[in-house]
Structure 1
Amino acid sequence: MTGNSSLINNQTLISAGSMFQLGFFSPVNNSGTAYIGIWYYNHPPRENKVVWVANRDKSVDASMASLNLTSDGNLILFEEGTEVWSTGTSAELNSARLQLLDSGNLALTAGNSNRTVWQSFDHACDTILPGMKLGFDFRTNTPWQFVSWMSATDPSPGKYIVKMETYKVPDFLILSVNGSAKLGRTGPWNGQWLVDLPMLRNVLNLIYVSNQNETYYITEYQIRSPVLVRMLLDANGKRYLLIFDGREWNSFLSLPRDDCDNYNSCGNNSVCTKGYYSISCRCLEGFVEIGSVVGCKRKEPFCCSSIQFRKEPSVKVPDTENATS
């Protein structure tokens, strides 16, 4: 799309390689509520395949709405002439260009240099696609994070959020949407992968970047990858790594895998083990239970001159909130 053009109901913008399409969709059959979204080409959006929603806070009547790209580079969703959502951008006059890429990114560019003015990859909803950042931009003081839908038929921001906490040793957490409760964590980056998710290396290349401007984690397709991959945070707080094999979507990984994946399920300084029917907790070597309180404490004070380190197999490293690299 170029300046002074629009998209209305029953029209779609399709990526060059027919991987994704942008248009109006309704998450409920025969419903008057509609949203502007991106979904996989030839995959009906109502089958939970929508990867991005523009106006997730407010639906529109598709018969009365249009998505307009103005001549000065602002992408605006109107309903009966009233602005519902916009990118709030501007570009050189008559140089704006909107393109849906085969990565699933909706990019608004300007000028002969194709300078990116705005892109949907910076505004994730409940899905992370390869090429999207998950982290924090220190220049704009904004996070790259994803937030669940309220329900399977309501794309408004839901109860769960996945984000990077920018501690001195960054960690990825799932939180209640108000940020008051940690519900789970992946463990930090160890130089090759996130410590609790080494299996991701089997399907994606993982990259971690940290500098004075930004800190983020990003996935990329492996060379000549024959599959499509997406990460989904559903309305119940479950996280999935989904793979499309050409016929159907399959779950490669789902979290939490069991109750031991729930944050601090056994308390501090404890090891959680999944049993056949339930989990069991034990103290790390050198620690004892704290009576009725969940967790363990040291048997004797910490002594740096005599303490030694040993590897405890099959546990996450501690929460990095107070850690220093």
Structure 2
Amino acid sequence: MSFLRHLPHLVFLYIILSSFLFAPGKPATSRDSDVLDKGRNITDGDTLVSGGGTFTLGFFSPAGGVPSKRYLGIWFSFSPDAVYWVANGDHPLNDTSGVLVMSDAGSLVLLDSSGRKEVWSSGSTSSPASGARLLESGNLVVYGQDSGTALWQSFDHPCNTLLPGMKIGKNLWTGAHWYVVSWRSATDPAPGSYRYVTDTFGGLPENVILDGNNTEKYRTGPWNGKRFSGVPEMASFADMFTYQLTVSPSEVTYSYAAKPGAPYSRVVVTEAGVVQRLVWDTSTRAWKTFFKAPRDDCDGYAKCGAFGLCDSNKGATSLCSCVRGFSPVTPSEWLMREYSGGCRRNVALDCSNRSRTIVNTSDGFEVRRGVKLPDTKDASVDMSVSTLDECRSRCLANCSCMAYAAADIGTGSGCITWTRPFLDLRLVDDGQDFYQRLARSEIVEQGNTTKHKVGAMS
């Protein structure tokens, strides 16, 4: 009877002890809502919210997907479907009992329902961590014990979205790449078939979309000092965003920043391989598409082959034509609108008929205005050239040079020269000037109608 009299007290004591021994930890919402400290966790239903309330980290299931498949992600608080980062995209949880913890080793760890299997981890850090914070920029950062050193950050591991402050490109010291990768489908956030990268392989940097075979699907055109030459729309965004192309001994990267008062923005690569710049319209509470690419058939890489020019305004007849002085390699294929075979020169250049070192030549140049510059992978770039006239002289003195253009349209400096067949030339609104080498006879013929002089720069 004595035992029974004390039983309620024993049960109460057992409950108290159990709460300490078996509880998974305090939910993140019990203290600062944007901080995850050691000894705390996030379970399904709990969240971290950035200091200004713009971004939320938690568990979700994609709209239209399988509700039981749960992912840890970060989204815009005012637009929950706009998920821009996912931890376990290729390893979904099968129920709502997953938990995110800060391990003793100082890394973020996502555990499954058993509490033992590691589904995802931010990885080991170089020094002890004090905790993680979701910043108002949308960046999830693991901090060192001094709270000033970032040991790991989600911005270094993009998913399908590029936010202001993030970057894509390459670390030239470590070889690390940053790129945006599409979801596998609208309901499956596993890495998909398309990547949006900053191409650093020769020439001038530009952004490209690569498919699952690492084949170029679309390119923005090279950076021209202000924007990418094939994306004139960037000029219309200049009052909202600043663009940064960094070329240094340590990295080649592209990023953008929002100006004060600018609306929320994101750059997304869809599961279909389309890159979109989306801007939040507060009046309609919807994302507006400010730009997308590929925008038309002319944006398909090398649509018209070597020495071809693509004009989307001529789609009813023929998208492709050969630049002046060239004709289709296989006319029968062009009649069937198969242009990939490209074009070949009609008349040999004067320079090619003489000594390869001769400087005095009757060859000249035609200017093609308003274009996306051709691919520069096989081109030569010299940023020390100070004027376009000097660039022209260099090209004219090199018998292998087929075309040239300014590398920086703001100053007219820098020199790009093409010594191999150029690819992926297209017309765009407010595009750049491109100077193509022609033989004397072709310039004279042109001069009959335009009064251009032989050898003169158009």
TM-score (norm 1): 0.92
**Higher helix proportion, which one?**
2
Q: Say if 1:9 and 1:62, in contact at 8 Å, map to a contact too.
A: no
In the other structure, the counterpart of 2:100 is 67
In the TM superposition, residue 144 of structure 1 has moved relative to its aligned partner by 1.0
Q: Distance in 2 between matches of 1:210 and 1:166?
A: 9
Q: Is 1:294 paired with 2:341?
A: yes
Greater relative contact order structure (CA < 8 Å, 6+ sep): 1
1:161-195 deviations in Å (ceiling 9; x for gaps): 1112212222221111231x211100111111111
In the other structure, the counterpart of 2:273 is 237
In the other structure, the counterpart of 1:267 is 305
Q: What percentage of aligned pairs have identical amino acids?
A: 35
Match of 1:208 among 230, 237, 245: 245
In the other structure, the counterpart of 1:249 is 287
In the other structure, the counterpart of 2:179 is 145
Q: Structure 1, unaligned stretches of length 5 or more? A: none
1:11-38 deviations in Å (ceiling 9; x for gaps): 1100000110001001146611011101
TM-score (norm 2): 0.66
Q: Distance in 2 between matches of 1:58 and 1:200?
A: 37
Match of 1:312 among 368, 371, 389: 368
Greater than 4 Å deviation, 4+ residue runs: none
In the TM superposition, residue 7 of structure 1 has moved relative to its aligned partner by 0.7
Q: Distance in 2 between matches of 1:307 and 1:15?
A: 62
Amino acid at match of 2:136: D
Q: Is 1:34 paired with 2:81?
A: no
1:32-63 deviations in Å (ceiling 9; x for gaps): 10111010003223xxx111111111101342
- For the aligned residues, what is the CA RMSD? 1.8
What are the equivalent positions in structure 2 for 1:114-263 lying under 5 Å apart?
114-168=148-202, 169-179=204-214, 181-203=215-237, 204-225=241-262, 227-246=263-282, 247-263=285-301
In the TM superposition, residue 264 of structure 1 has moved relative to its aligned partner by 0.9
Q: Secondary structure at the match of 1:312?
A: strand
**Pair 1:77–1:279, CA change in 2 (3 A):** farther
In the TM superposition, residue 91 of structure 1 has moved relative to its aligned partner by 5.4
In the other structure, the counterpart of 2:58 is 23
Q: Distance in 2 between matches of 1:285 and 1:130?
A: 42
Q: Structure 2, unaligned stretches of length 5 or more? A: 1-35, 334-339, 352-358, 382-458
In the other structure, the counterpart of 2:20 is none
In the other structure, the counterpart of 1:7 is 42
The range that moved more, 305-314 or 231-240, is: 305-314
The range that moved more, 265-274 or 311-320, is: 311-320
Q: Say if 1:71 and 1:96, in contact at 8 Å, map to a contact too.
A: no
**Pair 1:185–1:138, CA change in 2 (3 A):** same
Q: Is 1:280 paired with 2:280?
A: no
Q: Say if 2:325 and 2:346, in contact at 8 Å, map to a contact too.
A: yes
**Pair 1:284–1:98, CA change in 2 (3 A):** same
Q: Distance in 2 between matches of 1:84 and 1:306?
A: 68
Q: Say if 1:8 and 1:67, in contact at 8 Å, map to a contact too.
A: yes
What are the equivalent positions in structure 2 for 1:71-82 lying under 5 Å apart?
71-79=104-112, 80=114, 81-82=116-117
Q: Is 1:56 paired with 2:85?
A: no
Amino acid at match of 2:101: N
In the TM superposition, residue 301 of structure 1 has moved relative to its aligned partner by 4.0
Q: Say if 2:65 and 2:188, in contact at 8 Å, map to a contact too.
A: no
The range that moved more, 108-117 or 207-216, is: 108-117
- Larger-gyration structure (1/2): 2
Q: Say if 1:72 and 1:96, in contact at 8 Å, map to a contact too.
A: no
Amino acid at match of 1:319: D
